[in-house]
């Protein structure tokens, strides 16, 4: 199939960007979305045109690098909910479709180039407290620290967050609360995370605000586009943790 791609091109964060139109030819339905861009980039390179810059690493929905908006929705989640754009196969599209590709648009995620954003604000939120500072040593026996099954499962649900930033991109307030809530709740739900729970939530929420992310106004857009289907329940848990810690 042949597709028309309207792609956001921007040399860097200091200059204005604009949409450019390209034709992606002989795209197979078996290709992934990123393979389709690879193919287009090969053609552009052969024609002496600068290829489209985009991020990717694992290409299997784990690293959170492939961050762009497809036809108005982060990760193109309208085509295949619960997956990152790197996992989206081209069989969802048909010959002649027009696709629009844009970077995340949030003040805290400045554009580096084309579809690539600087998401290091998330790293700084994690560095503010998203870890357990004690040395936990080697792998202990499974029954050394008893954890209720429902707590272990809830912590695992939160731990699925890959930090891609789709929650921020989908939110009209550019709120990072789903991401921060997943990280806070993951550790707050486990006994190993209890000791530093107070400092963790205060520091991470403080850093989130300092980075310029907005607040949550319960639109659920973040949950709808999250490639790991993180629940907004975790935002409620983070708010409870914050209130307890701030007392």
The SS3 assignment for 18 reads: strand
C-alpha distances (whole Å) from 177 to each of 84, 161, 204 are: 19, 12, 10
Within 10 Å of residue 11's Cβ, how many Cβ atoms?
13
Q: Judge residue 62's burial from the number of C-beta atoms within 10 Å of its C-beta, 0-12 exposed, 13-18 middle, 19 or more buried.
A: middle
Kindly report the length of the chain. Answer: 247
* CA 202/CA 241 separation, integer angstroms: 9
CB of 189 to ligand FES, least distance (A): 24
Query: Would you state the structure tokens that stand for residue 82, as one six-digit string?
Result: 């619960």
State the residue number with the nearest CB to ligand FES: 86
CB of 164 to ligand FES, least distance (A): 6
Q: Which is nearer to ligand FES, 167 or 188 (CB)?
A: 167
Within 10 Å of residue 63's Cβ, how many Cβ atoms?
16
Contact window for ligand FES (CB under 6 A) among 63-71, 104-112, 115-123, 125-133: 63-71
CB of 61 to ligand FES, least distance (A): 5
Binding mask 78-107 for ligand FES (x = CB under 6 A): ------x-x---------------------
Please identify which residue in 1, 53, 62, 147 interacts with ligand FES, judged by CB under 6 A: 62
Q: Which is nearer to ligand FES, 56 or 100 (CB)?
A: 56
- Does residue 61 belong to the site contacting ligand FES (CB under 6 A)? yes
* CA 3/CA 19 separation, integer angstroms: 16
Contact window for ligand FES (CB under 6 A) among 17-25, 59-67, 94-102, 169-177: 59-67
Which residues sit at the interface with ligand FES, rule CB under 6 A?
Answer: 56-59, 61-66, 84, 86, 162
């Amino acid at each position: 199939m042949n597709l028309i791609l309207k792609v956001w091109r921007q040399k860097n964060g200091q200059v204005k960007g604009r949409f450019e139109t390209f034709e992606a030819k002989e795209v197979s339905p078996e290709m992934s979305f990123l393979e389709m861009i690879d193919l287009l980039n090969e053609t552009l390179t052969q024609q002496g045109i600068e290829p489209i810059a985009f991020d990717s690493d694992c290409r299997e929905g784990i690293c959170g690098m492939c961050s762009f908006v497809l036809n108005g929705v982060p990760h193109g989640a309208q085509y295949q909910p619960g997956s990152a754009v790197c996992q989206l196969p081209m069989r969802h599209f048909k010959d002649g479709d027009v696709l629009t590709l844009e970077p995340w648009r949030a003040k805290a995620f400045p554009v580096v180039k084309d579809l690539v954003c600087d998401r290091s604000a998330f790293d700084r939120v994690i560095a503010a407290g998203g870890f357990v500072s004690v040395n936990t040593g080697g792998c202990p026996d499974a029954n050394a620290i008893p954890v209720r099954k429902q707590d272990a499962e809830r912590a695992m649900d939160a731990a699925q967050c890959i930090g891609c930033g789709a929650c921020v991109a989908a939110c009209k307030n550019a709120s990072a609360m789903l991401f921060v809530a997943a990280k806070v709740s993951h550790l707050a739900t486990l006994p190993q995370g209890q000791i530093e729970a107070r400092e963790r939530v205060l520091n991470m929420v403080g850093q989130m605000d300092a980075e310029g992310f907005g607040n949550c106004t319960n639109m659920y857009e973040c949950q709808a586009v999250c490639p790991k289907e993180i629940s907004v329940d975790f935002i409620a848990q983070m708010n409870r943790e914050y209130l307890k810690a701030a007392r």
